[in-house]
Amino acid sequence: MTLTINYLFYLVGIVLVVVAGMILTDKSHPRRLTTGGFWLIYALIFLVGDWIPVTVVGVLVVAMALIAGFHGVTGAKPKMLSEDTRRQSAVRLGNKLFVPALTIPVVTVILTLGAKYLVFGGVPLIELKNVTLIGFGVGCVIALAIACVMTRDTVGQSMRETRRLIDALSWAAVLPQMLGMLGLVFSDAGVGKAVAHVTTAYVNMDYRLVAVTVYVVGMALFTMVMGNGFAAFPVMTGGVGVPILVGVFHGNPATMAAIGMFSGYCGTLMTPMAANFNIVPAALLELPDKNAVIKVQVPTALTLLVANIFLLNWLMFI
């Protein structure tokens, strides 16, 4: 039997069902029905998304958006272990606390590099086209087991901590996936072609540096609008990257993709649309200015963006 990406989706769905159940049964939660319903709908998409019509999935996504839009997803007062208990645990474990966290990337790298050798009877043990994500999921499961052994705690406590984290992140936890899908929708709707038409009509693309600048800056700007580099990538790559940088100037597409995504991440640093990166941390830290994180990151983002223009113009055409 081959371990496919679907098993990771099922695992995420089960975790979300448990979290939704904990919220729905928490009578102290200010909006337990709408919040629990939000996470239950999200769980169903992971669990049965392959077996229901795409229109139904679309309706469920719209329902999630409406619940979040009308402030139906809120957090409850977190139920945590006592400060003394947590302090004693931290003192006892010390730097060993980093072991579970480091386990995840180590397992991911090992499985990513070794999956092609894990073939039994001509059948691969891990689905090769999604090996990195599957390795990441396996790493998380192994890290959880190690954490439970080290802390002498249970999986139940880990689920309570999961619920606390989801309550803190709120609807922003689903933004990466939603915005990633938005990029595909934009691509299928022909936004990339529209971008190509506008840029070629109003910008002189005969100069390579100009084309590179448009691509890099465009990645950052679209990311700022969409809130996610994965959403901006198909638009700018389909509109400028592939037809002009690769098709006209014969650049290396791998280099373009790597630096292009890095440029998109520069936009992530400068936008409140990337709420899970920029707005949620400010809320968790109880900062008086909700845009404080963005203001600190802007100089770094702009500096990296300029550097990316010169790096792409050089490395892509070596």
- Write the pLDDT tens digit of every residue in 128-165: 888 888 999 999 999 999 999 888 888 888 898 888 88
pLDDT band of residue 90 (cuts 50, 70, 90) is confident
Instruction: Pick the most confident of 27-31, 226-230, 314-318.
Output: 314-318
- Cα dist from 261 to 136, 213, 217, 236, 255, whole Å: 20, 14, 11, 10, 10
Residue 228 lies in a domain: yes
Q: Among 23, 41, 69, give the residue marking a domain's end.
A: 69
Owning domain of residue 30: 5-69
The number of CA neighbours under 13 Å toward the Cβ of 294 is 18
Do 215 and 303 fall within a single domain? Answer: yes
Which of 113-117, 182-186, 244-248 is predicted least confidently? 182-186
Do 178 and 286 fall within a single domain? Answer: yes
User: Residue 287: which residues within 8 A CB-CB, separation 6 or more?
Assistant: 293
Digit-coded pLDDT (tens) for 161-177: 888 888 877 887 787 77
Q: What does pLDDT average to over the chain?
A: 86
Residue 9 lies in a domain: yes
The answer to whether 151 touches 90, Cβ cutoff 8 Å, is no
Do 95 and 180 fall within a single domain? Answer: no
Digit-coded pLDDT (tens) for 218-256: 999 988 887 778 778 888 888 889 889 999 999 999 999
pLDDT band of residue 49 (cuts 50, 70, 90) is confident
Residue 75 lies in a domain: no
Q: How many domains does the chain divide into?
A: 3
Do 120 and 226 fall within a single domain? Answer: no
Residue 294 lies in a domain: yes
Number of Cβ atoms within 10 Å of the Cβ of 269: 23
Residue 291 lies in a domain: yes
Q: Tell me which residue of 264, 299, 292, 258 sits closest to 278, measured CA to CA.
A: 292
Q: Among 69, 96, 125, give the residue marking a domain's end.
A: 69
Spatial distance between the Cα atoms of 64 and 288, rounded to a whole number of angstroms: 29
The answer to whether 248 touches 205, Cβ cutoff 8 Å, is yes
Do 199 and 311 fall within a single domain? Answer: yes
